Structure 1
Amino acid sequence: MRQFIPADAIDLAAPSLPPHDGACLHLPQCAGRDWARQAIALVEADASRSADTHMITAGFTGLRGISVYLKDESTHPTGSLKHRLARSLILYGICNGLIGRNTTLVEASSGSTAVSEAYFARLLKLPFIAVMTRSTSCKKIEAIEGFGGKCHLVENAGDVYDAARRIAAETGGHYLDQFTFAERATDWRGNNIAESIFSQMRHEPDPVPQWVVMSAGTGGTSATIGRYIRYRNFSTRLCVVDVENSVFYDSYKSGDRKLVGTQSSRIEGIGRPRVEPSFVPEVIDHMLRVPDAASIAAMRVLARRFFPVGASTGANFLGLCWIASLMMEAGEEGSLVTLICDRGERYTDTYYSDDWLKARGLEIEPYEVALETFLDEGRFEKPLGGNGFSF
């Protein structure tokens, strides 16, 4: 029987090559590469089956000269903006050789990213474990488990990172780490949400938006949009909205990336107790910090006028309204774009529950009235125009 010597086991720097004496050399089979090619094909096929998300026009009588557009990311197969990020993180892991045929995928998440990652894990037949705070919406936990994932719950948001790293090490798995890799896993030059926004806007009366307004969770999407705006040399400016119990706004103002908070954000999906590595303040033109009650009020206003959305979308829309008010005050006109991050069905037992709001001392009615007045009449009254906002 002839002996086979794998070529990748030969040391060409050795004094002499192994004797042939009937042995047959052959190249390695690269079984891992074969799996990676199949996995990437599955992920790309899934993307091809999904049409781009819709851009909704929103007319408000009070916003004179201002056109509002809502990029509806809830139409992704997993129902949120995080579907794009999950796909990018999975591809990033495969292409860097970090994810293989039997790799357990682990993520630290406030919910939506984990839902999307669980979807892709099932597609690739890989185990998935999500590390989340115990306060995460039950609907999100059910969605993760529905895709075959498991949930590991911790008490504090600051504990998710170490717990995810520990579980990945114990299982020999891969920590996807959205908070570190979000801004580098996505190609900011094209084939991303920013390119989609500007492509869909090109036939509108004001095709180049004056502002894109959005909130930050990992900071990855704002980094992608900010970089793309600069790369394509658009005049568009980027405003990022932050929420209570988050350190992003304070870091942006002070330049201190080592800030650490002591509480968790009440608005799922956005706001963080530390400055995440994927947060890139240099590509942001302006930041706002808004009250949680006002974000939830804006969410409910949109629910009445369009359809139920989540509280992160409320924060986005609130920021857009504030930018619109300043534009009108300055006599400026043009288009504004923000994101619908997910639908409200996931929050029926939290943000859409009056009992849940009351238990947390969140009074939203004054903000609702102020927002409705602004959208219909174009003017803000307190409390929205008071000290609830930071600039």
Structure 2
Amino acid sequence: MSKRDYYEVLGLSKNASPDEIKKAYRTMARQYHPDVNKAEDAGTKFKEAKEAYDVLGDDQKKAQYDRFGHVDPNQGMGGGADFGGAGGFGDLFDMFFGGQGGGQRRNPNAPQRGNDLQYTMTIEFKEAVFGKELDIQIPRTETCDTCHGNGAKPGTKPETCSTCKGSGQQEVVQNTAFGRIVNRRVCSSCNGQGVLIKEKCGTCHGAGKVKKQRTIHLNIPAGVDDGAQLRVTGEGEGGSKGGPAGDLYVVIRVKPHEFFERENDDIYCEIPLTFTQAALGDEIEIPTLTEKVKLKIPAGTQTDTYFRLKGKGVPRLRGYGQGDQHVKVIIVTPTSLNDEQRELLREFSRQSGEHTHEQNQSFFEKVKKAILGE
């Protein structure tokens, strides 16, 4: 049975870039890895993808494949296979366990950036509108002040691991009928650190880092909204081997307000009006975020009418000025009337020519005729 074209296996064109080849392989490896996918053909597809990447992921092998295809011009000349190079088992191990891939290995003694941290805090509605300065307490790991991060007792220093010579990895070479197989694994002597600490620091016990409670001063800008994320550079976990600290991301949650609602930079509220105020017009006081202002209600205002108070909304976080406040009026129907009030409303109804009982009866008769054809 002839082999499929390697580009076809990975779903790529022949002018695919190295990054595209690597990305396609990793996608298929994750999809068909036997530990993840239990389908019958998953193992076959996984091996097929790996074989394709073993060739296309190596510049020399790729050039040879592009020229000769599956035919090996060196076949029968004693060529061996080295699975420790680009795209081999070492690369696959790195892919699933956080390595660099492509046959490259991370230097265990190189500076490493600290992890980022996330902190969620809840603030009041008006604190989000107008901004606030405050201090928060963040638990995080920091570089040990006693050993300055190397984990060794003061006056001593870590020694290069004699097993892996500081690389953090061991190589086990096996000669088989199919060629030479190089298996790379984490050094068992130094656990991949590349160094050994014979006398550990009494403060961090050799870790090079300690847990601390750090006070961070925050300046929450005016206009911040619910779900916003503030980045505080360099206030995350401490780095190692002299690497920089990570960043702190503060997620803002805003409590709802009992009267105002917010939509982007605009504020919304509802104000009740009596029937008389709506019919005759009035001037009422409206609370805003900062003060009370007068609002003129024109005669004949209907319920659900909106009025806009320009510039009475939220300060714009990115830009100048403020949003607006939108006031929705709701006409409230009285629920308790005395006899005199009821009579006045009846008289108002008669004067307005509103439907009487007889008029309503006439209306329903017309509806009945329209439906039944009477």
Smaller-chain TM-score bracket: under 0.3
Name the structure with the higher strand share: 2
TM-score normalised according to structure 1 size: 0.17
Instruction: Mark the structure with the bigger radius of gyration.
Output: 2
TM-score normalised according to structure 2 size: 0.18
Structure with bigger RCO (C-alpha 8 Å, 6+ apart)? 1
